[in-house]
Amino acid sequence: MKLMVGLFAIIVTLLGVSIDGYNCKVVQFIFGDSLSDVGNNQYLSKSLAKASLPWYGIDFGNGLPNGRYTNGRTVADIIGDKMGLPRPPAFLDPSLTEDMILENGVNYASGGGGILNETGGLFIQRLCLNKQIELFQGTQDMIVAKLGKTEAEKFFQESRYVVALGSNDFINNYLMPVYSDSWTYNDQSFLTYLMETLQTQLTTLHGLGARKLMVFGLGPMGCIPLQRVLSTSGGCQEKTNKLALSFNAATSKLVSDLSSSLPNATYQFGDAYDVVNDVISNPEKYGFANSDSPCCSFGRIRPALTCVPASSLCKDRSKYVFWDEYHPSDSANELIANEMIRKLGFTALNNVTNAGPSPAPAFAPSS
Ligand SMILES: *[C@@H]1O[C@H](CO)[C@@H](O)[C@H](O)[C@H]1NC(C)=O
Ligand SMILES: *[C@@H]1O[C@H](CO)[C@@H](O)[C@H](O)[C@H]1NC(C)=O
Ligand SMILES: CC(=O)N[C@H]1CO[C@H](CO)[C@@H](O)[C@@H]1O
């Protein structure tokens, strides 16, 4: 019987989340970096990190660049789709209105952004997580003005939250000698600094109403093409991968601690490190043909956003793990999303099965 309830929760989740007692839909608020950006940086006039040139977006909608740093969908797009949640528009989209927010949520993710304010400084303009949270507070004020405090509070408590940052804090900060964090900290003290910052940020979000929140971990970022060219062998940077693994372990613990200490919080952590690592070593096993170079490439010139009109494209985009020097392709994102759903979904089902008075699983709508 309890198993049935669990299955029902998951089926309802997959079919869509709209069976609430009041009129507001369940929507998502997404905080992230270029892996989740859906267009914010296109509106930052001075940003050097923009996915605004062909061939970004070639497999999405009309095929024109849309601000996503990939050929198709992001991981958050795919997970949201499978949960039956609408895709939130970019916060900086000038057409954003209160009604659109109530219908679709908001995405604050910004290419180059990090958990730390100083991360990605070389890109000149990007929204760091603190800034994204500040903008979310502004969004709340707008919704409170429209719905009143009580309804707005309900709306924000029922919403889903995604926090997906961290790779820039390493790749575009700690691991780059031009940033002072790289000589101020060592591996351990930098991780502690990141975790203290993230703890404050996740607690702030709880204070703002976030109850059902997912934190995405990092993949094997030492294996992105841009990191491979740093070694003479072209192999993965094991030091960078080790940093990703320690970030994931520490974040997983932080999220689980916050989930049990913050009232009514269901905070979950999910990563796809192992699967992506396996795809990189055994691409054929997963139907990929290439796992070490970008599909969209500019030959030997290799800045982070190499995909420009003069770049050449691989023949079959679905067979490349990496789209550009930094970002996975649509098909790799699908694999990552499926792995995260498998991990997070199974946790929810198992926890429903033994549920005592614990909070509802994050993916199941509360009625
Ligand atoms: C970080 O950025 C936020 C938002 O932009 C700002 O309010 C805060 O003072 C900054 N913190 C530090 C330590 O610079
Ligand atoms: C937690 O949930 C209970 C029951 O819905 C509610 O009465 C209480 O105010 C909530 N507390 C917080 C801090 O959200
Ligand atoms: C069986 C199972 O997945 N249990 C998980 C339930 O949730 C807690 C944290 O909220 C995990 O620690 C358990 O592993």
| Neighbour count for residue 242 (Cβ, 10 Å) | 13
CA of 36 to the centre of ligand 2 (A): 30
- Choose the catalytic residue: 37, 169, 271, 324: 324
- What pLDDT score does 302 carry? 67
Around ligand 3, the residues with Cβ closer than 6 Å are 256, 259, 347, 350-351
- What pLDDT score does 330 carry? 98
Q: Any idea where the domains of the chain sit in the sequence?
A: 12-218+258-272+334-344
Active site residue 261: no
- What pLDDT score does 7 carry? 52
Tell me the DSSP string of 332-358: HHHHHHHHHHHHHHHHHHHHHHT-SSP
Q: Which amino acid is at 138?
A: G
- What pLDDT score does 325 carry? 92
Low-confidence ranges of the chain (pLDDT < 50): 1, 11-22, 347-367
CA of 7 to the centre of ligand 3 (A): 17
CA of 349 to the centre of ligand 3 (A): 10
Active site residue 259: no
Q: Which amino acid is at 171?
A: I
- What pLDDT score does 361 carry? 39
- Choose the catalytic residue: 33, 34, 169, 291: 34
CA of 117 to the centre of ligand 1 (A): 6
- What pLDDT score does 46 carry? 87
- What pLDDT score does 353 carry? 40
- What pLDDT score does 16 carry? 45
Active site residue 206: no
Residues contacting residue 210 through CB under 8 Å, at least 6 positions apart:
29, 156, 159, 161, 202, 265
List, for residues 143-194, the tens digit of each pLDDT value. Answer: 999 999 999 999 999 999 999 999 999 999 999 999 999 999 999 999 999 9
- What pLDDT score does 48 carry? 87
| Neighbour count for residue 3 (Cβ, 10 Å) | 10
Pairwise CA distance, residues 194 & 116, whole Å: 7
Pairwise CA distance, residues 72 & 276, whole Å: 18
Decide: 131 in ligand 1 pocket, CB within 6 A.
Answer: yes
